[in-house]
Each structure stands twice: as C-alpha cells, then as structure tokens.
Amino acid sequence: MQGLRPQELAEIIAIDRKKCKGCDACKAFCPTDAVTGKYGAVHRVDGERCLFCGQCLVNCPFGAPQDTVDIVDKVIARLKDGRTTVVAAIAPAVRVAVGEEFGLEPGALVTGQLLGALQTAGFKILDTNFAADLCIMEEGSELITKIRHYALGEAAGHAPGPLPQFTSCCPAWVRYAELYCPQLLPHMSSAKSPLMMAGALAKTYGATEVWRTNPENVFVVGVMPCTAKKFEASRPEFASAAAYWHKRGSAGSYPDVDVVLTTRDLARLLKKLNINLTAAAEFSDADNPLARYSGAGTIFGNTGGVMEAALRTAHFVITGQELAALELNPVRGLKGVKAAGVTLRDAKTGREITVKVAVVHGIKENLGPIVDEVVAGRSPYHFIEVMNCPGGCVNGGGQPINPMGTSWLDKYKAILPWS
C-alpha cells in the first residue's frame, strides 16, 4: 500500500473522542474500512487507508468526525495583507449548496450572489467551470485518440494508454486506485482535475495576462464541495506553474493551488467578514475570460456530468456534428452504475463505432464489479467515470451537513440524556 509522502496532508478527517459513541455509523459509509474501533468503543481514522472523502463526517449522527484542516483565518490574512492577489477557484457544486449555510432552501442556485460575495471579500475570480471545460477537451481528446487507434485502426503518433479509460477528476477515486487497485493506473486519464488545471492557469496566464501581477504573488484558493481536495492540493506533483516559470528563469517554488476551502469553510469565512451571501451584489467582471464557461463544465458536479461532457466532445470531433440531443439521459440519475452506448460515424472514414461507457458513483457499493471486469480483461467499456461520493460532488464531504447527518442532532441536544 502506498504511504503518504512528506509534503502531503496526513490527517484531514479525525474523530473527536468526546463526541464518538462507537455506533459504527461512520464505518457504514467509509469506502475503505479506514475507520477502526469496536462497536461501543471510541473510533479512529487510519490516515494510511483513508481517502479523505468526508463521507463519515457528513453522515455521523453525533458530529464526531471533524475536518481538521482549518485555514479560514490564513485566507483572511492573505485577503487583508495588501500584497497578495487571492484567487478563488469555485467548483460548480458549491453554488447550489452554500446558500443552505445562509438559510436558503437546499439546492438554491446562488451563482451571482456567491461570486459577488467573493469579490466583496477581496477575491479575484477563476471559475473552475472554465477549467472543467479545459479538462473535458483534454480528457475527451485523449479518449478520441484511443478510440481511433484501437477501434478504428488509426496510427496515434505515440503509444496511447489502454482502454477503458477512467476519469481522473475525483481525488478520492484516484487515491483509491493508487492504494487498492494500482493495476488500473495505466487506464487513468492523464488529465489533471479541473481544480489543478485552474491553479496552474491562475499562476501563468491569469497572473500575467488577467491580473497583471507576479505569479509568486498569486494565492489560489480552491472553493470545493470536497474534503479530499485538501489532500489533492498538497500533492507535490501539482506545481506545474512553478516549473513553467523555472524554465523561464524564475527560481520560485510554490504549489499550483495553495489551500482549499470547503463549502462549509467558505460560509464561515464570509460570516467572519460580515458578508451576507443573500444580500451580496451580483458578480460583475465581464472582461475576465477566466470567469466564463459552458454548460459542459457546469454539469461536472453531478454523477454522469463528466461522461456527458466527454461524449458531447467526442461526438463532435469524430462526426463533425453536435449531438442531436445534448441531454444524455442514460448517464444521468442516481442509479449506482449507469451504462450507455453512443454510435458515432467517423467523418474521415465513414466507419461507425459504438462508444460504450459506464458511470459509477459510490465506490463502496458499486465499483467492485467494474474493476473486476477491467482487471480480467473483459470490460465492454471504452470510458468509465468514477466518483467516490454518492450522487457525485454535490454530495461531497465538504458540503453543508444535511438533516440526515449531524445537523439534526443540534435540535435535540437539550433533551437527549447522553448529550
């Protein structure tokens, strides 16, 4: 099993001994059996096995698992120092969840108010949806190269990775593959996640062309629905911007993404700055190209969204035409494993191929048979999307705690005998 490297965050989720009742609820939601402890005894999290997904945190009825990485005050200090360009890279799932922290109904879309509140706080905006569009162009192009090479017999110009190709956007899924099925790593897309693309972009093109500042003065804050993104940002390989500038004479050393705030963290930050999201002025930055995006980037936050965006791209590039129906219903919805086939006619050769895809969310319950097929060499699929959290990023470990998780307990603490 691959251990943590010195630079990587070793503990993101920890269990508060004073709150843990040993009820085993957290174990029921942990995809890797990283929670240890007998029933009735205080539990703990094994960091070597943990994916940092936070599903134990959002599903514990007693609020015992905690996100230990609190950098809200650090970000506020950067916002106020007068020297740093602080860039918020906001994931699509945040804008339909953060309103809950300010009394709005679950699912309320607050994009304009959210970006406006971030501007009021002093952030520059890089919408991660923009980077998701870049990601799907990279991931989709990689898939197209493999399809044309393996299925249509075209020379690739290089040795493409094997099929099926797995998505690489979910850091909990990537860590799962590294720890528990490393034989799948050659099948993983070589594309970075949208957040990591956003960080590198912010400290290269964004620094010099949009905000007109030294890249070393740019401090990138991922605003994510996901606790595992805190781990991803700490991985030492994600320092592409520094490497880019090093080749051009700079001696600086810095990560692409400096820190990650969860949706809950962001709400706390805004409240500390006395910014009411619901009263915030609408975002206005019409000249910022990094705040624009397509509908393909927007749907990344749902299970099936990456797949749908990839198939739209593959269809257009191979056939030369847009999909007649942009909504691919077979890959939507909350079924644990979804499968679909899309027939494409290659505009170059006239040959047809049916691209077979699968979408998996909820690693604990649904991934096993898919992995077994790939390892045995009998997978029918060309492309497989995997997201660790049930429903995708919208149900990530950094989202507001829903009424079936810890928040229901607060209402009854005064009358419960063990509170």
Backbone angles phi, psi at 182, to 5 degrees: -60, -20
Cα–Cα distance measured from residue 286 to residue 292, given in angstroms and rounded to the nearest whole number:
9
Look at the block and give the residue holding tokens 């063990």.
Answer: 418
CB 169 within 8 A of CB 301: no
> Is the separation of the CB atoms in 324 and 350 below 8 Å?
no
Spatial distance between the Cα atoms of 116 and 224, rounded to a whole number of angstroms: 17
| 5 contact partners, CB below 8 Å, separation of at least 6 | 235, 236
How many CB atoms neighbour CB 29 within 10 A? 22
DSSP 7: T
Q: In the numeric block, which tokens belong to residue 298? A: 């927007």
Residues assigned a catalytic role: 139, 142, 169, 189, 229, 232, 237, 393
Asked whether the beta carbons of 168 and 188 are under 8 A apart, the reply is yes
Q: List % helix, strand, coil for the chain (3-state, nearest 5).
A: 40, 15, 45
Q: What's the CA angle centered on 141, arms 386 and 203, to 5 degrees? A: 85
Q: Is 283 within 8 Å of 126 (Cβ atoms)?
A: no
The DSSP call for residue 411 is: T
Q: Which of 311, 312, 318, 314 is nearest to 345 (CA)?
A: 318
Question: Strand pairing partners for 223?
Answer: 90, 261
Kindly give, in sequence order, each residue whose CB lies less than 8 Å from that of residue 260, ignoring residues fewer than 6 positions away. Answer: 69, 195, 221, 222, 223, 224, 229, 230, 232, 233
